[in-house]
Amino acid sequence: MRATLLTIGTEILFGSIVNTNSVFLSRQLNMLGVDVLRHITVGDNRGRLLRALETSFEDCDIVITTGGLGPTEDDLTKETIAEFFGVPLKEDAEQLEILTSWFAAQNRVMAPNNIKQAWLPEGSEVLPNPNGTAPGFYLTDGKRHIYVLPGPPRENKPMFLDYVAPKLSSHEDGYLYYKIVRTIGIGESDLEMKLMDLIDGQTDPTIATYAKTFECSFRVASKRPTLKEAQDAVEECMVKIRKLVGEYIYSEEDRELLSVVLDMMKKKGLTLASAESITGGMFAKLITDIPGASKVFQRGVVTYSNAAKISELDVSPETLEKYGAISAQTAEEMVRGLSLYSGASVCVSVTGNAGPDADEGKPVGQFFVGIMYDGKVTVREFMARRKTRDDVRSLACTEMTKMVYNILRSID
Amino acid sequence: MRATLLTIGTEILFGSIVNTNSVFLSRQLNMLGVDVLRHITVGDNRGRLLRALETSFEDCDIVITTGGLGPTEDDLTKETIAEFFGVPLKEDAEQLEILTSWFAAQNRVMAPNNIKQAWLPEGSEVLPNPNGTAPGFYLTDGKRHIYVLPGPPRENKPMFLDYVAPKLSSHEDGYLYYKIVRTIGIGESDLEMKLMDLIDGQTDPTIATYAKTFECSFRVASKRPTLKEAQDAVEECMVKIRKLVGEYIYSEEDRELLSVVLDMMKKKGLTLASAESITGGMFAKLITDIPGASKVFQRGVVTYSNAAKISELDVSPETLEKYGAISAQTAEEMVRGLSLYSGASVCVSVTGNAGPDADEGKPVGQFFVGIMYDGKVTVREFMARRKTRDDVRSLACTEMTKMVYNILRSID
């Protein structure tokens, strides 16, 4: 299966918003074994939309569109796709009822032009949209398949996952089932080496590794006549995989490490506190991005200046004088001070240089992470390979998370 | 002028990275008065790249490409563009020398395939790349203009700003000069109303407003036979604009509010501290994203739990009991406590509900910002219209920044 992603939206051509739909959909499609050959973004323009459809179907059997399904005159995605497939638009009685009830439920008056949202190309299959007024649809002439989704991510993501992905999984003969497995502490080539025997000679299930920023994951996929058979084949393969690389796996459900860490801490009844210098609140921000983080993460401090390190965390002025703020010694005193005054079961500290210039003679990219649990402190030194401010700070947060994870793994 | 942005990069089709190049370039081009008609992304594939060039030049006179200029076999952007324009690739002696010195300066051995990076289409004009090994180039047949840039943002951004933008400004007759002016405290329609007389009947300079998330900016642009004349025309118009909406303008150089705030504080010799609940470190993170923030921002606390609010900021348990953590009273006590123990000249606090569920009976999206300067506390209540966790937290950070800005404006 080969696909083009077609985004319809002027805001993207203005650079006002980032095309996150294409990122999400590309990732999902690749995981489903669909090759994404191109992305195209055009405005609400009939001619350019038709031309994009034409080009896309030259080498793809699937086109997925997002956007342009609003109720205004500008929005002409549906009309243009119907024209391309040579079918008329028809009012869908069921959709009109859903639309009418939606407005009633929200105590809002339905404007006449909203009725347009209940019109669909003849022969199309509705993709329900419980999160908005514009239904999506699927249309095919047997050879060319188009999935038409609304633009807002909170509408098109669930629509893709609930309706498009299952259809794609059974597009050709059989059902696809896969797992995304995430690892830590092993590089892509080592991972491939350890899985070599399984990867070589594989036909089904297949194993494909993906290097992501700071970590490596892999996909185990199977396509069988029934979903049950595909699931069984993947699980059977996972048993072998766990034997070979189980110690590196932290999630078999494609979850973020930080979210796994929070769950582990919740289960163990542990609390976490952070003292940040170089990352300036980024670590706390990432944790509190996750709903429900408050059960585990109760407080953090951002001690950006030396004065703050001294007054908030009892770092000694002599240590700062002798070793500098960017040192293992300072990281250690920060985490000891944090533990003392926060009482959290796991404490983590970080200090370093995110650039743009060398600081205290310490190079850009150097940082130290301290961790304290059960009275014991460990400090590790790191050097970021990529040196932009954001790269260094992101890596520091990742290494903090990894060190917390490793502590948690060591606790029975 | 009409342009297509053409990205060459498999990572984008895999969804591994976000296409930030297209965002940056779209914004820049629109500011330069170039209509961006479409974005296309393809992999390193000769056929699809040729087809994309063909489609793009059907209705555009300009194509800007990024990516695919690396030294490996995969990278075939140059070859394909040369083929499309019907010219051969030739080794550029000057580029080869630059490349050789670049490797020598880095103490690295130049691999034979790097020589490929000194080959350019005959008749093209080099766009220098001081930040990497791949030069860009500009090629035209008089009617079709192509600008070919490397993929990494740290290479293509300066190349665009230093070489492409000036060329585009003088692409047709005359030179374009513009200013991006940012405002605060006024909506797009009010802004347009106040500038009505200038906007109506405008031919040159032109004024166009842009609503961005949480604020509104506008562009004042002029195209004249010389750059000096264009600059003078914009400045003359700015004099009138400042009279009409000067009180709302916070930057005439398209700068972020937070960065303007930091500069104002630096100049006034003031320091800033933050106490965050709902935003969980996001405000501190945004400040410390800016290099040199440490002069102004010395410390922050993230008091996510009630216990932390009590022990870190002396919020009284009675207040938390009676009004709840999400209340004006708590925001006030947070900022008072922060001021007391941090000694910072400006203190800001925030508490609220980012969702996903109602908390203490407080609806998702409600938050309170407290600010303290010179012994005086102000607290304001807000309700986010968009309710995703990230939207609410981002809005809270913006409102915190605005309140700090307004305090600074009130100080002589």
Residue B171, pLDDT > 70, answer: no
Percent of chain B with pLDDT over 90: 66
Q: Where in chain A is the domain with CATH 3.90.950.20?
A: 257-410
Mutate: best of B288, B310, B314, B387, partner A, most A CBs <10 A: B288
Residue A162, pLDDT > 80, answer: yes
ipTM, two decimals: 0.80
Closest Cα to residue B293, out of A279, A263, A342, A325?
A279
Say if the Cβ atoms of A59 and B38 lie within 8 Å. no
Rg (CA), chain B: 26
Supply the pLDDT for residue B197: 87
pLDDT, averaged across chain B:
91
β-bridge pairing B145-149 and B62-66: parallel
Per CATH, the architecture of A257-410 is what?
Answer: Alpha-Beta Complex (3.90)
CA dist A82 → A119, B34, B328 (Å): 11, 31, 54
**CATH value of A175-251 in 1.20.1260.10, 3.40.190.10, 3.40.920.10, 3.30.70.2860:** 3.30.70.2860
Closest Cα to residue B350, out of B296, B275, B267?
B275
Chain A residues closer than 8 Å to B68 by CB = none
Residue A73: pLDDT band (50, 70, 90) is low
pLDDT digits (tens, 9 = 90+) for B344-384: 999 999 999 998 888 889 999 999 999 999 999 999 999 99
A106 at interface of B, judged by CB pairs closer than 8 A: no
Chain A residues closer than 8 Å to B308 by CB = 298-299, 342
Supply the pLDDT for residue B321: 96
Supply the pLDDT for residue B242: 96
Least Cα separation, residue B91 to chain A (angstroms): 31
pLDDT digits (tens, 9 = 90+) for B276-298: 999 999 999 999 999 889 889 98
Say if the Cβ atoms of A293 and B280 lie within 8 Å. yes
Q: Where in chain B is the domain with CATH 3.30.70.2860?
A: 175-251
From the list B7, B55, B308, the residue facing A299 with the nearest CB is: B308
Buried b (16+ CB within 10 A) or exposed e, A302-321: bbbbbbbbbbbbebeeebbe
Query: Is residue A50 within 8 Å of residue A39, measured between CB atoms?
Result: no
Q: What gap in Å lies between CA B85 and CA B81, rounded to an integer?
A: 6
Q: Which of residues 387-406 of B touch A (CB under 8 A)?
A: 388-390
Least Cα separation, residue A92 to chain B (angstroms): 30
Supply the pLDDT for residue A205: 92
Cis peptide before B205 (omega within 30 of 0): yes
What's the CATH superfamily of B2-169? MoaB/Mog-like domain (3.40.980.10)
How many C-beta atoms surround the C-beta of residue B344 within 10 A?
A: 22
| pTM exceeds 0.95 for this model | no
One DSSP character per residue, A60-101 reads -SEEEEES--SSSTT--HHHHHHHHHT--EEE-HHHHHHHHH
Residue B173, pLDDT > 70, answer: no
pLDDT digits (tens, 9 = 90+) for A217-232: 888 989 888 889 999 9
CA dist A304 → A163, A358, A370, B141 (Å): 48, 16, 16, 55
Q: Which of residues 46-65 of A touch B (CB under 8 A)?
A: 47-48, 51-52, 55, 58-59
Supply the pLDDT for residue A251: 95
The number of helices, as runs of H, and strands, as runs of E, in chain A is 15, 17
CA dist B351 → A291, B203, B274, B277, B304 (Å): 15, 48, 11, 5, 9
Say if the Cβ atoms of B37 and A43 lie within 8 Å. yes
Q: What is the DSSP letter of B178?
A: E
- A98-102, A240-244, A292-296, A379-383, range with the lowest pLDDT: A98-102
Say if the Cβ atoms of A305 and B294 lie within 8 Å. yes
Q: Where in chain A is the domain with CATH 3.40.980.10?
A: 2-169
How would you class A300 by CB atoms within 10 Å of its CB: exposed for 0-12, middle for 13-18, buried for 19 or more? buried
Q: What gap in Å lies between CA B250 and CA B270, rounded to an integer?
A: 19
Q: Which of residues 63-102 of A touch B (CB under 8 A)?
A: none
- Quick one: CA dihedral A108, A113, A119, A121, positive or negative? negative
Taking CA–CA distances from A45, the nearest residue in chain B reads: B37
Query: Is residue A216 within 8 Å of residue A187, measured between CB atoms?
Result: yes
Structure tokens that stand for B313 in this block: 């900021």
Residue B314: pLDDT band (50, 70, 90) is very high
How many C-beta atoms surround the C-beta of residue B305 within 10 A?
A: 19
Structure tokens that stand for B232 in this block: 């003078």
Q: What gap in Å lies between CA A197 and CA B137, rounded to an integer?
A: 46
